[in-house]
Amino acid sequence: MPAEHINGILLFYLVEVTEVVTNTTWTFHAVQNHINIGPLHAYYTYRCRLAAFNSIGLGPFTAFFFVNSGEACKLGISDEITQYKDPGLTVFFF
């Protein structure tokens, strides 16, 4: 049996993201080693943690780590209308 299958075959990562200011939490399933998260508020801090889910079940969560969103991009539609593109975020984990 390959070493990476000793605790069961990896099926996905469960990623938990919490907006620190509002304490709003989202949960995502990631089947790759990264996840794109958005829409987000500009210059906010997000608390994240993840756990592997395999054929045996959910493993333990990692320690919390913090990420910060960037600046929103201003989209000049016209002189009267201005929109902002939200600062999405890609979280990589290995």
pLDDT band of 67, cuts 50, 70, 90: confident
Domain of residue 50 covers 3-92
In total, how many domains does the chain have?
Answer: 1
CATH number at residue 75: 2.60.40.10
Q: What is the pLDDT of residues 77-86, one digit of tens each?
A: 545 544 445 5
Report the C-alpha gap between 68 and 21 in whole angstroms.
12
Contact 28, 80 (CB under 8 A): no
75 has pLDDT over 70:
no
In terms of pTM, does the model score above 0.85? no
pLDDT band of 27, cuts 50, 70, 90: very high
